[in-house]
Every structure is written in C-alpha cells, then in structure tokens.
Structure 1
Amino acid sequence: MNRPLNTAQSYSQSAIPFNAGLRRHMLGIYNNMALGLVITGVVAALVASTPALYQPIFGTPLKWVAMFAPLAFIFFLSFRMERMSVGSARTAFFAFAAVMGVSMASIFLVFTETSIARTFFIAAAMFLAVSLWGYTTKSDLSKWTTFLFMGLVGVVIASIVNVFLGSSTLQLIVSIAGVIVFTGLTAWDTQRAKSDYIAFAGTEHAEKLGIMGALSLYLNLVNLFQLLLTFFGEREQG
C-alpha cells in the first residue's frame, strides 16, 4: 500500500531548485554589476593619468559630451534593451560602464586618491547593507516608488542646474537628498530583481531583466559614491 505524500516535504524539495536558481540569478546580477564597476574604474584611472586623453576632453567643450553621454546611454538602453539579445544587452551595459568611466575621470583630477578609495568603501558598505535588507525584507517596497522617482527627478534636475550655477549650498542639498533617494532605490531595485526572477524564472526575459537589474544597482552605487564625495572627498592641493 502506498503511503500518502507528505505535502510539506514535497514543497520543501520543490523549493530547492527554485532557491538555487534565485541565488544564481542574483549572483549573476552582482557579478555583472561588479565587472561594470571594474571597467568604469579602470577607464577613469586610465583617462585621468593620461594627459593626451584628459586634456582634449576636459580642457575643451568635449567635457559636456563626456558629462552627458552616460545619461543619453541610459535612455538608449531603457528603450532598446527589450529588442536586444542577452549577449548584446550585456555588451551594451559594459560599453556604458566604459563611457561612465570617461565621465568620472575628472574625479581623479579633483580629489585625492586616498579620499576616493575611502569614500568608495563607505558607499560600498552602505550599498551592501541596504541591498541585503532589500533582498530579505518582507515589506513591500513598491509603495515607495512614487516618492523615490519624484526624488530622483528632482536630484537630476537640480544637479544639471547646479552644473551651471556652481552653488556649494545647492550641491550640499542635492547630495543629502541624493543619498536618501539612492539608498532607497538600492533596496527597492534589489527587491524588484528578486521579484522579476519569481515572475519570469527560466526565460530569456529573466536574463535581460537581470542585466537591467545590474545596471540599476550599478547606477545606485556609482551615484551614492559621487554624492558622498561631497562629504568625504579631499581635494588635490594646487
């Protein structure tokens, strides 16, 4: 006579492959994000240490192209990602990371390397803590999306305006608001990446969403880092 199937045990066994898949999905997101950060850092350091590269860029009107090219790239990826293959989407993300590196090279010309390293460590520690919370929390963070989106729009607009005004007071306000916004976005984007896998596990769409998740988390950390330089960055002398 067959014994009745233990429902709890059956559920537990079926959850094992799903949980393993979710871990692979999230690990893939963090790996792509980390590689993107490495590309950005290498390109930024290379440009900043090569006068033949940074002088024609930051000493001419090309600096505006370098400054706004990443923003144009983000819009391009947002609209084209759905039509790309997974490989093309990943390549586009890494190309964006390289463009971002050119844009961020000016940081190495303004701030000391010690303060850059210290600030990045602080930003990375904040990011990891908040991302872990976003992954494990049972709270629905989507209820904060309207507030976070409005805050993001405000920070972007104020930052662009301040490029021309050069106000230290406005920069301080933007930095404080930006840290709050990007901290919240880190938690929400992490939870969203987890939810995307639950909804589309095993499909090509899930892989594309994973790359978009890597892009979102990459942007959150990079922006946190740049905003925290307002508080922890030490400028080069002379």
Structure 2
Amino acid sequence: MQDQSYVESVKRTSIVQSFFSQVYGWMFFGLLSTGIIAYYTANSAFLLNLIFSSKITFYAFLFAPIVLVMIISGKINSLSASMASFLFFVYAAVNGVTLSAIFLVYTQDSIATTFVIAAGTFGATALFGYVTKKDLSKLGSILFMLLIGLIIASVVNMFLKNDTMMWVLTYAGIVIFVGLTAYDMQKLKELAYKIDEDENDIAKFAVLGALTLYLDFINLFLRLLQIFGKKR
C-alpha cells in the first residue's frame, strides 16, 4: 500500500511538473510573439496605416483579443489541445498589433526597463501564490469585483480625461493584478493536482493557464509602464 502511494505521488509530481513547464513555455512563447509583432508593426508604416487609419480595422483589432479570450476560456473543455494552442497564438499575435502603440509613445529603453520590473514583480508574486498555505479564494472574489470597477472607471475616464483619476486607476490596477497573479497561480496549482493524466487535457489546460498568467502579466506591465515609461 505504501509503495502504491509512493508511485501515485511520483506520478502526480510528474504531471504537475509537466503542466507548469507547458504553462510557462506557452506564456513565454505568447509574450515573445506579442513583443516581436508589436515591434515589427510599430516600424511598418504600411501596417500602422492599415490599423489606425480606419475605425473599423482599429476596433476589430481592439476587440478581437476579448473574443478570443472568451472562446478559449469558455470552450476549453471541447477544444483540442492543438486548437487551443492555435487560438492562443492568434490572440498573442493580435495583441501584439494593438500593443505596437507603446513603441510609438515610449522609448525602447524604458519599455525594456519596465518589462524587467514587471517580470520581477510577477515572478515574486506568482511564487508567493504557489507556496502560500493561505486560501486566496475570498481575495480572488474581491479582486474580480474590483477589476470590474476598474474597467468601468477606466472607460468613464476615457471621456473625462482626468489626470488624477488616471493615476489612481493606474496604482489600483497594479494592486489588483499583483493580487490576481497570486490568486491565479494558486488556482493553477490546485488544477495541476486534480487534472487527469491524459496528455491532451494537460496540454490544453496548460494553454488556458498560460493565457491567464499572460493576461495578468500584460496588464501589470502596461500599468507599470505608465509610471516608469519615458515618452518620446
């Protein structure tokens, strides 16, 4: 009985390691794809004109990532691993097109510096979420409600253009996404210890996990960029 328990423990540890290696592998691939496409788009007059000269094209690229996130998150059980991976790549690519604007607004040095700061903050917070014994479920519910409030307030401020409100929302966003990173990491750890050993399930849920952490990182990075970014 003890030997069987040991074997099951070793098998589960192997599944967890495989799951998180794929999660971070896909997340790295997504961020790399987004960065490369954003940089290339920012340096292409043709693409910039194509995207920003037409409101239809601009809003298509703006809302496409939201639709893709909804599809991946809502249909993950019915998607194959290959389709989930493809949709994640499309999402990262489209996001790269919309994020090309940061290369037009901020200097490359400040973007790189902010990326390092965001990576360090994200890494420390994700590690905390993984190792902490405290249940973060209640915190997650509160942060989700705050996130909805943040989105609504940000939309309102697009019309008000209040600088004070903008800075309040920026710092609030940092706190929210730092908290969500820890919460999401804990949820992914719980998922890793419950997921079936079926390779297809591990692969597609790893993509979903990568998407979740990717969103946390990008949102954290963009808000830190508002603080540390130096405009051209």
- TM-score, length-normalised on structure 2? 0.92
Partner residue, 2:155: 160
User: Aligned match of 1:81 in 51, 76, 80?
Assistant: 76
Gaps of 5+ in 1: none
- Report how far residue 13 of structure 1 moved: 5.1
Query: Residue type of the partner of 1:177?
Result: A
How far does the alpha carbon of each residue in 1:158-213 deviate from its partner, in whole angstroms, 9 at most, with x for none? Answer: 22333333332222111111111111111111111111121123034343222111
Residue of structure 2 equivalent to 1:71:
66
Are residue 119 (structure 1) and residue 122 (structure 2) matched?
A: no
Post-superposition shift, 1:27?
Answer: 1.1
Alignment of 1:137-216 (within 5 A): 137-203=132-198, 204-216=200-212
Aligned residues of 1:70 and 1:103 also touching (Cα < 8 A): no
Aligned twin of 1:227? 223
Residue 16 of structure 1 is matched in structure 2 by: 10
Count of residues paired in the alignment: 230
Q: Does the 8 Å contact 2:33/2:96 carry over to 1?
A: yes
The answer to whether the 8 A contact 1:135-1:191 is kept is yes
Task: State how far apart, in whole Å, the 2-side matches of 1:55 and 1:169 are.
Answer: 32
Which residue identity does 1:43 align to in structure 2?
I
Alpha-carbon distance in structure 1 between the residues aligned to 2:161 and 2:68: 25
Contact 1:196/1:206 (<8 A) preserved: no
Of the candidates 41, 51, 54, which is equivalent to residue 48 of structure 2? Answer: 54
Output the aligned Cα RMSD: 1.8
8 Å CA contact 1:48, 1:108 repeated in 2: yes
1:38 aligned residue: 32
Q: Which of the two has higher C-alpha Rg?
A: 1
Gaps of 5+ in 2: none
Q: Secondary structure at the match of 1:202?
A: coil
Deviation, structure 1 residue 33: 0.5
Bigger Cα displacement from structure 2, 10-19 vs 194-203: 10-19
SS at 1:83's partner residue?
coil
Residue type of the alignment partner of 1:53? L
Aligned mates of 1:10, 1:70 — CA distance in 2: 45
CA distance in 1, matches of 2:60, 2:158: 13
**Following the alignment from structure 1 to structure 2, what is the Cα–Cα distance between the partners of residues 159 and 100?**
19
Deviates further, 40-49 or 192-201: 192-201
- Aligned counterparts of 1:66 and 1:161: Cα–Cα separation in 2: 21
Q: CA offset at residue 11 of structure 1?
A: 4.2
Between the aligned partners of 1:44 and 1:165, the Cα distance in structure 2 is 28
